[in-house]
Amino acid sequence: MISTVSFHPFISHFPSALFVAGLGLLYLAWKKGNPVYRAAGSFNLSLGLLAAVLADFSGMLSADLGLKTTVEVEGHQGYSFLFTVLYGFAVGFSYTRPYSRTALWIYGSGLLALMASAYSGYLLVF
């Protein structure tokens, strides 16, 4: 069985990659007018949301190691939770109104939360 300490770093890369790939596919769908790209982008975002939830829970379990300060760990958890919430909204909008003004704002906010979460996670590792 994989322990939570090694499971979190394994699963935590999937939400980031699937979020960026999903947004890229939604952009291609908008640019080329091909609904297949839109469906693929929404599917990528859906899989990424599942991976984000798994990464959040595995991160909560592996954070009780006492290796880092509470401020460092909770900062990363806060950014990750914000990213997961915005991810959920991005998935919903990708299926209903993927190119609305609100959806674009959520995609951009999700990218900012992704960068903050990735940077704070980087600081925990190095």
Expressed as residue numbers, the domain containing 83 is: 4-125
Per-residue pLDDT tens for 69-110? Answer: 777 788 889 999 999 999 999 999 999 999 999 999 999 999
Domain count for the chain:
1
pLDDT at 1 over 60: no
Amino acid (1-letter code) at residue 43: F
pLDDT tens digits, 35-74? 999 999 999 999 999 999 999 988 887 765 566 777 778 8
Single-letter residue type at 33: G
CA distance to 30, 103, 121, per residue, from 100 (Å): 12, 5, 31
Residue 84 to residues 3, 29, 30, 33, 41, Cα–Cα distance (Å): 22, 24, 24, 28, 17
- How many angstroms separate the CA atoms of 107 and 95, rounded? 13
Phi, psi of 29 (to 5 degrees): -65, -40
Helix (H) or strand (E) holding 101: helix 101-125
